[in-house]
Structure 1
């Protein structure tokens, strides 16, 4: 693996994390997780009574970079042509008002992921230059 590469391991939170193909492949390529960014999608679709807090806090599977939780647009939102700005606002509201994730809200969502990827890309570019 090239020194300027990162792994973006994307897994749906509403499926068994242990059997996630993205996590399995990232472990094979880089077992220490130092160059892996974990993304959990579909957090809002998890079964009632369950949450992804241990994963997002790095307790279940530690990575150098923080885990990021994402709430995707629903098929209904897509069919209704809900624009991306509204979808991002809805995502922010989900994390900031959800009892389990409120304490993590500042580092959750698609907007945070985009900022994080830019920062990581820039730091890797500087190191390899």
Structure 2
């Protein structure tokens, strides 16, 4: 993100404050802009984040976990494995849940400076070690973040389901009924075929330009518009 030197200088200071508070287990009172990803399990939340950031991975990127200070990851497949391992350490290996965050920071010269919160997938039926009231517990975790005025809600729903039945849109509308920005992600076939982010964004643009319900407002739909709204601080 460029053009606001003061903000760019402030970001690393705020990042250090967030890390310090997180390491102490104390919530920070600063109400900073952030993106919370809400959706059912296997709804495609990871694809949304990859499109939003702009790249799946690039050579100059590296990632660091707060629970592994000083260790840098350049292989993002290893990042994925560490997230799974840390999740199992905190919740157990049988689909338990926890409100303890995993703090991951990705450093890159080519992506936006953003705080992304990938929340647990919404579910109704407990499995494994999950408690009977799993639906209510996850809802509580989601609401903790999405009720904030500074939070941009990414409500993710699979393209093969009826949006009228979307749990993600339902909970998003409870706290922000004013509107939405539609985005189109890669399909499972696209992911398996390693369709890159640039091609996915081009396909998304073509979809909104040609769809009869959206072609009158294509510039107010899609991932690029969502990025602009986030930078402007819009909810």
TM-score bracket, normalised by the shorter chain, equals 0.5 to 0.7
1:88 to 187, 201, 213: 201
Structure 1 unmatched ranges of 5 or more: 124-129
Cα distance in structure 2, aligned partners of 1:73 and 1:28: 29
**Per-residue deviation at 1:101?**
4.3
Cα distance in structure 2, aligned partners of 1:23 and 1:104: 33
Q: TM-score, normalised by structure 1?
A: 0.56
Query: Match of 1:127?
Result: none
Q: Deviations over 1:21-71 (max 9, x none)?
A: 88643423463x412211133463333x8587xx5xx8x334399633322
Q: Does 1:77 align with 2:104?
A: no
Contact kept, 8 Å, 1:42 with 1:72, in 2: the verdict is no
Query: Match of 1:27?
Result: 143
Cα distance in structure 1, aligned partners of 2:153 and 2:191: 25
- Cα RMSD for the two superposed structures: 4.2
Query: Match of 2:33?
Result: 6
Q: Which moves more between the two structures, 1-10 or 80-89?
A: 1-10
Structure 2 unmatched ranges of 5 or more: 1-27, 44-120, 123-134
Contact kept, 8 Å, 1:11 with 1:23, in 2: the verdict is no
Alpha carbons of 1:117 and 1:2: their partners in 2 closer, same or farther (altered >3 Å)?
farther
**Per-residue deviation at 1:73?**
1.0
Cα distance in structure 1, aligned partners of 2:221 and 2:136: 20
Considering Cα pairs closer than 8 Å and 6+ residues apart, tell me whether 1 or 2 has the greater RCO.
2
Q: Point out the structure with max Rg over C-alpha.
A: 2
Cα distance in structure 1, aligned partners of 2:138 and 2:216: 26
Query: Match of 1:36?
Result: 151
Alpha carbons of 1:24 and 1:93: their partners in 2 closer, same or farther (altered >3 Å)?
farther
Cα distance in structure 1, aligned partners of 2:136 and 2:37: 9
Cα distance in structure 1, aligned partners of 2:164 and 2:228: 28
Cα distance in structure 2, aligned partners of 1:10 and 1:99: 28
